Copies of this chain bind each other. A is one copy, B any other.
Amino acid sequence: MSGIADVAALAGVSKSTASRALTGGGYVSDGTRQRVVDAARVIGYVASPNAASLVTGRTKNVGVIIPFVNRWYFGEVLEGIEDALLAGDYDLTLYNVRPGTTSRERIFDHFLARKRFDGIITIGIEPSPRELERLVSLDRPVVALGGQVPGISSVSIDDVAVSRLATEHLIGLGHSRIVHVGGERAEDASSSVHGRRLAGYVEAMEAAGLGEHILYVPSDMSVPGGYAAGVLVIGDPRRRPTAISAASDEVAVGTIIAARRTGLEVPGDLSVVGVDGHEYAEMFSLTTVEQSPRDQGTAIVELLLDALEGSGTPVQVLLHPTRLVVRSSTSRPRPDGATRA
């Protein structure tokens, strides 16, 4: 329960000098500073951030708005962000706006309005106009990871390019009957990850003159989702492809599990490529486009801290690098063109 007054008393200086010595504000002689710092350490003093922020207006805290915690990409990003924030001496307040929950509205209207943070990081959030207005009204820097918003700095990957690359890899191996698993109706194309990755697949197919083979099956961005879609795709022999371009690694893994369970060989009967760089990718020898979410977490924090502490930086839109990692879940299609099972 020791306050700065105790530190000051022990060091034999005034509260303000103690404050300056500890926060590094104005001029303090080296000797005095040392005595104050020592005194603080002796009684284990840690400033109350509440009191401090009341006067400075800064909280040393960042709000993170995230739709899921328990999906690989999001969990990974969150851990990356937490690490980077700790390094910058910031606390992290979590706002979990799981879709389909009534709490989303409450978070935007009530919890965010408390302004417990110096800035906000949104992850994979496509805010509605009303939500965007709320965000802006907070009068704090906002940065976005994945899903850019006009006027807001962001880090994201080129979802279209990533999926195009994945599909091109399969085309390059000689596949033509390639199904995309994960897409949604094309109208949403640019507004969702699903849609953009579908668009990349379509682009690659059309560019290769395979437009007639375009086919996509919707799926949740999860292993069970990919499994269900995989069962569908594989179950129908008439449209069973020789390759699958999945919207994410989780989806890809799900389809591989479904395929192997059906007795198909992966690769051989079926080649699968995913997107993400998921921790399961290696176990499944999954060919994938890595996007290193943890690094993205670090990058987005950097952007926010820049806005918070740096000299007025303009809006930045960063494209995070990705790379195709080829593993043995993809191969040339079988010469006879027929599946084994």
Contact = CB atoms under 8 A, between A and B. Distances in A.
A85 to B, nearest CB: 9
Given A94-B94, A280-B223, A114 B257 contact: no
Interface in A34-77: 44, 46-51, 53-54, 59, 61, 68-70, 72, 75-76
A340 interface: no
B70 A83 contact: no
Interface stretch (A103-111, A165-173, A182-190, A205-213): A103-111
A154 to B, nearest CB: 22
B50 A59 contact: yes
Given A86-B103, A111-B91, A280-B223, A79 B98 contact: yes
A116 interface: yes
B223 A116 contact: no
A14 interface: no
A61 B139 CA distance: 22
A96 B223 CA distance: 25
A224 B93 CA distance: 31
Nearest to A52: B50
Interface in A98-132: 98, 101, 103, 106-107, 110-111, 113-116
Counting every copy of the chain, the complex holds 2
A224 B279 contact: yes
Residue among A98, A223, A260 having the largest count of chain B Cβ atoms under 10 Å: A223
A306 interface: no
A282 B224 contact: yes
A300 interface: no
A92 interface: yes
Contacts of A96: 79, 82-83
A4 interface: no
Residue among A54, A59, A107 having the largest count of chain B Cβ atoms under 10 Å: A54
Nearest to A57: B50
Contact of A69 (B69, B98, B261): B69
Contacts of A107: 86
A331 B199 CA distance: 45
Interface of A: 1, 44, 46-51, 53-54, 59, 61, 68-70, 72, 75-76, 78-79, 82-83, 86, 91-94, 96, 98, 101, 103, 106-107, 110-111, 113-116, 139, 222-224, 227, 254, 257, 260-261, 279-280, 282-283
Given A50-B54, A91-B111, 15 more contacts: A1-B139, A46-B113, A48-B115, A61-B93, A68-B79, A79-B98, A86-B111, A91-B93, A91-B114, A91-B116, A92-B93, A94-B94, A224-B279, A224-B280, A257-B283
